[in-house]
Structure 1
């Protein structure tokens, strides 16, 4: 992966921000570490992995907001969900952080979240009408969830133009083959000097050659080699003997 200048260099707590270790999301170890120690973001592709509730989506959403993107998805120019206001599930983390950017580097960002993708499609539908009648259904709505997701991730101009690409669990909508294509696309983006931050549960995506992998768990945020990831070990054990797992849970 590239090691040169990158649009976004570091996340750190704003000097005026307070920290409450007893409140959410500050009590999440990864968020606590981010607020106390900051987080350097390397060039190329960075994956955030960990169990549910470890702060992956919270961090990605905060970065999106810092770069002017609504946390439901889109870009600064296409703010899907902006008219909905801030939901009660938003962490407020972005307001307490600041982004350290590379001088002279544009940082146009695009966020796509699996759970809000269809809202983004509806936003596009609502903003691309002709003015001669009701908005026409956006073509993405005529595709399956996975097909629409792949169309945006692999072929859309929003992704191609983003200096910082933010993804939240994209594998949830993608087949094995499309996950491979996405991984290749992310590697190509890194080779072009763009930056990727992706929250994922996918052992396939995290195996992208040269990617940086950060594991979020009770210890906080730790750089981990792919072979040592908890999710890789768990999938290997399961695929090797799935009956052992089913006996335990059924």
Structure 2
């Protein structure tokens, strides 16, 4: 673990202005990170991606996706929150990667436009555009994620089948057991959330708070659907009756 604490600097902040109008962001003072793997969970718009992006901004990672050495412009090239965050490290690391599923195409294109001959060495030896979306994600995880670093991942399950999500869990396990890697992940995946001994932080209208895996809506809804599919679909489609 490297990143120990995230502090929101409230001076000059308007609580009515985005992103401070989001309950989870508005209520943030200090957030202690105590585990090598931390998950952010919550509904769309709950602030989990906003906070992850702000952390990436303070790490000086490319906000379209990438590390400190990736410089390119996409629509999501600025963070509204980063300037108001303070990160506390022990020790400070500068290596890492910000994965943003929705802009991964732009990162792959940026990589193609680089001129040095070894540009694909950390990505499976070939252009990410020459691989399927899921294969490209796994190439990144298998070859780029391999040394002392912090990895910030926004919905990494977006391109991964359930079986590939299990593969990713194994990659996370192999990396974290060395003690040299830290993950902070925003996700909707009940499979990824099952990673053992991780911190899960729930983002909702009440703010931000720790939650047990079995208490997350992601786990409960998925479990109920798999056990009572016909009943759930009947209630969903024919509730007007």
TM category, shorter? 0.7 to 0.9
Cross-structure match for 1:184 = 170
CA distances 1:173-224 after superposition (whole Å, capped 9, x unpaired): 0011210111121122222222100000011101011111111111111111
- Aligned with residue 114 of structure 1, among 93, 101, 117: 101
Describe how 1:6-155 pairs up with structure 2 within 5 A: 6-14=1-9, 17-34=11-28, 37-79=29-71, 82-84=72-74, 90-102=78-90, 104-128=91-115, 139-153=127-141, 155=142
Assess, with a 3 A threshold, how the Cα gap between structure 1 residues 206 and 196 changes in structure 2: closer, same or farther: same
2:146 to 134, 139, 160: 160
- 1:78 to 1:162, Cα distance in 2 relative to 1, 3 A: farther
Q: C-alpha distance in 2, partners of 1:107/1:228? A: 35
Partner of 1:227: 214
Unaligned runs of 5+ in 1: 1-5, 131-137
Kindly tell me the number of residue pairs found equivalent between the two proteins: 228
Report the TM-score, using the length of structure 1 for normalisation. Answer: 0.84
- Spell out, residue by residue over 1:32-57, the C-alpha distance to the aligned partner (whole angstroms, 9 max, x if none): 122xx221112311111111111111
Q: What is the alpha-carbon distance in structure 2 between the residues aligned to residue 217 and residue 199 of structure 1?
A: 14
C-alpha change, 1:86 and 1:216, in structure 2 (3 Å) is closer
The answer for unaligned runs of 5 or more in structure 2 is 118-125
Provide the aligned C-alpha RMSD in A. Answer: 1.9
| CA distance in structure 1 between the partners assigned to 2:204 and 2:175 by the alignment | 28
CA distance in 1, matches of 2:148, 2:66: 11
Q: TM-score, normalization: structure 2?
A: 0.87
Partners of 2:115 and 2:164 lie apart in 1 by 27
Q: CA deviation at 1:98?
A: 1.0
The residue that corresponds to 1:134 in the other structure is: none
